[in-house]
Structure 1
Amino acid sequence: MHDAPSMLVPVLLTLAAGASYLVLAIRQHAGPRGWSLWRIALFLTGCGLLILGLSPRALPYAEGDFRRHMLQHLLLAMGAPIGLVMAAPVTLLLRTLPSRYGRVVTATLRTPVLQAITHPVVALVLDLGGMAGLYFTALYTAMMQHPVLHYAVHFHFIAAGCLYTWVIAGPDPAPHRPSVPVRLAVLGAAVVIHSVLSQLLYAGWHFRVATSVLQRHGAAELMYYGGDITEMLLAFAMVSTWHPRQASPAQASKACAVSV
């Protein structure tokens, strides 16, 4: 079992994305509407975590150690997406693009396909389903033997993580996004499923990766506690941006009249 293939191209793409965001954000920050410095810091942090996850030799575990792969998974699929998504890159893009191109982006967000995959349950299945498929099928072994498949799996982790984060707590526009109670219920289900998967991994139930018991237990603990931390951050991000709908003055007067 060899280590990950060279990630030079993904790292360069990440650096390019970070530089592009920084240039656009600085322009907006200097403009009349401004742009939050916190969002800039979040996006750069997300890029940093992404680069760290794409650079396995910078991680604390030795080459071939299954715990290193699990740490990569947590950085790519759970840590980096929080920073990238909470930085509101789509909103920044819509502010920067000419209006005719902005309407194209908005229309794309409203397409039936995108609306289907942005349902919280679908996003949850894509996110945690990929994890389960990797560790409890022969996919992991195949991935370590075929570099192209390795790239594809990492891309899926990043894309599914960003999608799930955006659907649950993202500040960017998301047409037909369910209410906060619905998203909290999905987040609660994710906590339970993530915990069950980590415990199955710890027990070695249908586990399809050739590794030592010590590494398997360590990876399961990383999955368990790392998942708890990121899901708590998601919950905090969601409720901190929740603005309960208030009744209009006319509705309030009508309610008072009915109560009297």
Structure 2
Amino acid sequence: MVGGAVVCFLAAYLWGVTWAARRRRRWPAWRTASAVAGVILVLVAVGPVGVAGHHDFVAHMWGHLLLGMLAPLLLVLSAPVTCALRALPVSGARRLSAVLGSVPVRVVTHPVTAATLNIGGLWLLYTTPLHGWMHSSTAVHVLVHAHVLLAGWVFAASILQADPTRHPVGHPARAVVLVAFLALHAILAKHVYAHPPLGVPAIEAQEGAQLMYYGGDYIDLVLIVLFCLDWYRRSAPTTSTRGRRAAGVA
């Protein structure tokens, strides 16, 4: 179900890229590649890795890194909202903007809410019987996968803000949320190491927790670098600004 949804997303995304090209609106190839790579990682995470995760906690944790962290980051970098706004007619773009500017969407996509949904869901997964339920019920398994993907996606989008938003949150506030999220994610990995989820052997829990801790650090490092580059790019004075300042000094 999750795999089918992301395939439909990719089909719509590629249609948008093609339609925008017909209207002579070029779209960066690296963003398209990011969308394709993100969808592939989702399919891998819910496919072979997800199947292996039923009986191997380390494989399950690989699925967490791919589905909840790396794939969402790539999908955010593909800027799907911007792509849709370029491809849609004016009326469709206005309706999409109205939906994205609605109160429910604004609340969910706020960095604090997005971080809470993301890390809160992970704490519930590994500190309650939910982890065991997801491997004994297909419906729960699908719901957990969907939540992990969407929560990771919304969180990465709220931090990077690669797409336009009517109510942007400043970089300082997003930096605080990001640091808090990273700390809670690291604490959770240590908790899993010391207190394995129900039904998970201690040795597997320790290996999975180490993968969560160190593997998550590498992905988080990429997120931090992208965030800092965007902060610098938006706050650095432009050439024209520097020229006006120089003229004023002269």
Write 1 or 2 for the structure with the bigger share of helix.
2
Cα pair distance change 1:40/1:62, threshold 3 Å: closer
Relative distance call for 1:192 and 1:110 in structure 2 (3 A) is same
CA distance in 2, matches of 1:85, 1:62: 26
Write the deviation string for residues 151-178 of structure 1: whole angstroms up to 9, x where unpaired.
Answer: 1111100110110010001311123221
1:221 corresponds to: 210
Tell me, yes or no, if structure 1 residue 145 matches structure 2 residue 136: yes
* Structure 1 segments unaligned to the other structure (5+ residues): 1-8
Deviation at 1:139, TM superposition (A): 1.1
Amino acid at match of 1:72: G
Q: Identity of paired residues, percent?
A: 32
Residue 232 of structure 1 corresponds to which residue in structure 2?
Answer: 221
Provide the C-alpha distance between the structure 1 equivalents of 2:50 and 2:197, rounded to a whole number of angstroms: 26
Matched to 2:179, the amino acid is G
Q: 2:185 aligns with which of 156, 173, 194?
A: 194
Aligned pair 1:244/2:229, yes or no? no
Task: Name the structure 1 match of 2:34.
Answer: 42
Deviations 1:172-225 (A, max 9, x none): 112322111221121111111111110111111xx4321211100111011101
TM-score of the aligned structures, taking structure 1 as reference length: 0.85
- 1:4 match: none
Q: Which whole-Å CA distance do the structure 2 matches of 1:63 and 1:135 have between them?
A: 14
1:22 aligns with 2:1: no
Contact 1:86 1:171 in 2 (8 A): yes
| Structure 2: gaps (5+ residues) | none
Cα distance change on mapping 1:165 and 1:12 into 2, 3 Å: same
Matched, 1:180 2:164: no
Q: Give the match for residue 166 of structure 1.
A: 157
The verdict on how the C-alpha distance between 1:120 and 1:13 changes in structure 2, with shifts beyond 3 A counting, is: closer
1:57 Cα offset (Å): 5.0
Conserved? CA contact 1:118–1:163, under 8 Å: yes
Give the TM-score normalised by the residue count of structure 2.
0.88
* Residue type at the aligned position of 1:86: L
Deviates more, 1:80-89 or 1:237-246: 237-246
